[in-house]
Amino acid sequence: MEKVYPMRINKYLSSQDYCSRREADGLITAGLVKINGRVAVLGDKVSEHDKVEVSQSVKDRTSRLKYYAYHKPAEIVTHMSEDGQSDIKEISPIKDDSVFPVGRLDKSSRGLIILTNDGRVTGKLLPPGMNREKEYAVRVDKNINGFFLNKLSFGMDLGDFITKPCQARQTGADEFIIILTEGKKHQIRRMCDALGFVVKDLQRIRIMNIGLKNLKPNQYREIKGKELETFLSALDL
């Protein structure tokens, strides 16, 4: 379900899967939550651009935090579906009910999704303006050329928004890699469509320093060690 802003701070923390609303009220009352550097109070509301922070003193559950890289198959929805479609939690071999997908990947797309029980990651990875790199391998319905890549790279007016400049390079006659620092709904498909191309296959292969590597559809691996340290450090966690 799409989030509606402004949103009460306790509902926001709950929507980020950080804690329940009741637990959030306790953290707020204790002065452990800040909005844009100001200590939050019960009833405060946040917009999608606000910076919400939870004090380090409540992060004693760190040892229980888990992080997984998962290869979402095509035709699987990311979050719980209301119309009976299969979702990640339903088919994933990860036997940990505490973890949840961070962000989304279109139903018809495949590739990397991070699953975790660390609600802080959502607030650090997804908000606009964070400029977190996400890399995709794309195949379209006909051969591409330099003009196509340049149009992708320098930003495009899609009517309701203008895309940020990005990196795009050709890897085959009808294939290319694109690296975005934003994540509008159906963005790559819309960019290609605006140039007269149809996306035939779209696979996310990297989120920041976390790569899909050799994971096959519906396979996963735990993110740990130096890879995890680099990821959390880049998120300032």
**Catalytic status, residue 236:** no
First CA to last CA across the chain, in angstroms? 27
Q: Report percent pLDDT > 90 for the chain.
A: 59
Residue 61 has pLDDT above 60, yes or no: no
**Per-residue model confidence (pLDDT) at position 189:** 97
Residue 60 has pLDDT above 60, yes or no: no
Residue 118 binned pLDDT confidence (cut-offs 50, 70, 90): confident
Mean pLDDT of the chain: 89
**Per-residue model confidence (pLDDT) at position 204:** 98
Residue 62 binned pLDDT confidence (cut-offs 50, 70, 90): very low
Answer yes or no: same fold for 62-127+209-223 and 134-207: yes
Residue 177 has pLDDT above 60, yes or no: yes
- Quick one: average pLDDT of 157-186? 95
**Per-residue model confidence (pLDDT) at position 25:** 79
Reported CATH class of domain 62-127+209-223: alpha beta
- Quick one: average pLDDT of 97-116? 91
Which DSSP string do the residues of 149-187 spell out, in sequence order?
HHHHHT--B-SS-BPPP-EEEEEETTEEEEEES---TTH
Indicate which residue of 17, 44, 106, 118 is catalytic: 106
CATH of 7-58, one of 1.10.10.10, 3.30.450.20, 3.10.290.10, 3.60.20.40: 3.10.290.10
Which sign, positive or negative, has the C-alpha torsion 129, 131, 135, 138? positive
**Domain boundaries of the chain, sorted by first residue:** 7-58, 62-127+209-223, 134-207
Classify 225 as helix, strand or coil. Answer: helix
**Per-residue model confidence (pLDDT) at position 81:** 67
CATH 3.40.50.300 for domain 134-207: no
- Quick one: average pLDDT of 69-76? 96
Token pair for 223 = 């993110």
**Per-residue model confidence (pLDDT) at position 87:** 87
**Per-residue model confidence (pLDDT) at position 216:** 97
